[in-house]
Structure formats: structure tokens, C-alpha cells
Amino acid sequence: MNPNDQPPPDHAALDRDLNAHYGLTAQQIAQFRDQGFIKLKQVLTPETLRYYGEEITAQVFRLNSLTKPMHERTTYEKAFLQIMNLWTKSQIVKEFAFGRKLARIAAELMGVGGVRMYHDQALYKESGGGITPWHADQFYWPVSNSNTCTAWIPLQETPADMGPLAFSATSHRYNVGRELEISDESEQKINKQLLEKGLPLVETPFDLGEVSYHLGWTFHRAGANTSGQARKVMTIIYVEDGIRLVEPRNKAQQNDWNTWMPGAEVGEAVKTAMNPLLYHASMGSEQ
């Protein structure tokens, strides 16, 4: 075997890693609820990230349609290549996105009985890619409460020059900038409002295997990627099992209803085929 070749995957070990119980402490749960985000070390093994990362990357390059030169792109387009609902395109990615470990962490951090898939998305910030402006994800989501969160899963070690995700601590408590979609305007206005409130900015690298979770109303951004390689990240958005669809408040929310919750009815629990139950306390940690 070529010394540069990787050994064949140990599928039993991969399955255990995706579905084992990650023991959160009471302090970590309290920190998440207070700060609106948390970064957790050693959530997934390097082997798991390598195996599933190769498939995620292959799907991103297969499905990506953004090929304009960087200088011709908008701020949003410069921020990342964005490929959504990869779990519907690849059985291997589905295994990753449906992992009980990640879903159970989301449920326990939020203090809910179970969580469903809202959607997944790969966010690949190319070398030379620009900033990701300040924003809060829940601007886009027509749902009845704030028991929503995103797992941000780097597929490689992510130092400062790659543009790791940064958070405005405790910003989920403040009704500032919630009417702004991600844009140059959101970067300027939200930054000003957060500075005026004196909220701490937490912008630190990610180790390999480190995963962050942030609430839907937690403001976050990312710097430019000035490294020589792509910043490869997979994300999974979780919503509380039982969360209801509400009347969209903007065009983006109408689009989200049509795209991620087709067939759901306003006032009813979100449980379409596109929103499978990924974890419930009654399931335990085993599949």
C-alpha cells in the first residue's frame, strides 16, 4: 500500500462515533444558554471527519454552480460556496447529518425533548473568500419559538486566517438587527449596535474535532479566508420537535417554508418528510 494512502474506513467505529453519547456538563449547558453559543472539543474523531468530509466535499464540487471569479461576486457570494440539504443527495452524507450524537447535544443544550432537521448546508469559504457579515439565522425561519440552533462542524483544523466562526456573546437576548438579512448593511449596522451594547466578541480558532452550537438569534460572523486552502464546514440546523410553522414575516421566510417545510400548515407542528426526527429523549443514545 502506498504510504500516502489512507487505511480503509472502520465503519463500525464511524457509526459508534456518530451515535455515541457526548456527555455534556451542567456548566456547559448553562454556558450555552447564557452566552447563546458554545464550542465543544473532541466531538468527532479525525477519522470520522476525514471519511465523511471527503464525501461532503465531493458533493459540494458536484453541485456547486457558483463559478464567477471572486472579484465579480457580491459580498454574500464571496463569503462561501453554500450547498444545502446534502442529506437528500448522498446516503453517506445522510449518515453524517442524521448522527444521534450531534442531535442529542442540540436537544440537551436547548433543554428540549427532541429535535428535527430543518436543513443541512455545507459552507465552503474558498481561499481568498471574503467575510461572512454579521447576521442571526432566525431572520430566515418562520417558526413559533427560539428553540433552534445550528451545529457548525469544521472538517479540518480552522485557524484564524481561515475565517472561523465568531460570536457575539449574549446577543440572543437583545432585539437588535433582527430585521436584517445577511448583507453589507447587516455587517455595518449590527456591528455598530453590538459595539454600543458592549457585547463580547468571541473569535477563536477551531481544533480538529471541535464543533460549535449557536442559537437562532445569536449574532455571528466570520472573517475572510486568507489562508492557502478552503475552509470546509458542514452545518446542521436543528429545531425543537413540536415547533410550529408561523405566518412568514418576510420573503426569505416564505422561501424557507416552501423549500424546507413543503406541505406544512401555519399553526401546525413542523413534521414534513423534509424535517425528520433526529433525536428524542425516548430514543436514548443508541440507534
Domain coordinates in residue numbering, the chain = 28-274
Q: How big is the CA angle at 230 (ends 8 and 35), to the nearest 5 degrees?
A: 100
Q: Is the dihedral of CA 152, 104, 263, 215 positive or negative?
A: negative
Please write the tens of the pLDDT for every residue from 158-217: 999 999 999 999 999 999 889 999 999 999 999 999 989 999 999 999 999 999 999 999
Query: Cell numbers of 287, please?
Result: 440507534
Least confident of 75-79, 153-157, 182-186: 75-79
Q: How far apart are the first and last CA of the chain?
A: 35
Q: Would you state the pLDDT for residue 76?
A: 86
Q: Would you state the pLDDT for residue 286?
A: 43
Q: Would you state the pLDDT for residue 41?
A: 98
Please write the tens of the pLDDT for every residue from 86-145: 999 999 999 999 999 999 999 999 999 999 999 999 999 999 999 999 999 999 999 999
Please write the tens of the pLDDT for every residue from 244-267: 999 999 999 999 999 999 999 999
**Segment holding 211, helix H or strand E:** strand 211-215
Please write the tens of the pLDDT for every residue from 31-71: 999 999 999 999 999 999 999 999 999 999 999 998 889 99
Q: Would you state the pLDDT for residue 8?
A: 82
Query: Cell numbers of 224, please?
Result: 475572510
Query: What single letter denotes the amino acid at residue 142?
Result: P
Residues 6+ positions from 74 with CB-CB distance below 8 Å: none
Is the pLDDT assigned to residue 5 strictly greater than 90?
Answer: no
Q: Would you state the pLDDT for residue 287?
A: 37
Q: Which CATH code of 2.40.30.10, 2.60.120.620, 3.50.50.60, 3.40.309.10 fits the domain covering 28-274?
A: 2.60.120.620
Q: Would you state the pLDDT for residue 285?
A: 46
Q: Would you state the pLDDT for residue 79?
A: 86
The pTM score is 0.94
Residue 257 carries which DSSP code?
A: H
Phi, psi of 12 (to 5 degrees): -65, -40
3-state secondary structure at position 160: helix
Separation of alpha carbons 114 and 284, rounded Å = 11
Q: Is the dihedral of CA 278, 113, 83, 159 positive or negative?
A: negative
User: CA-based diameter of the chain, in Å?
Assistant: 59
- 114-125 vs 81-84, strand pairing mode: antiparallel
Separation of alpha carbons 86 and 242, rounded Å = 24
Separation of alpha carbons 226 and 161, rounded Å = 5
Separation of alpha carbons 263 and 259, rounded Å = 10
Reported as a pLDDT band with limits 50, 70 and 90, residue 284 is low
Contact 37, 213 (CB under 8 A): yes
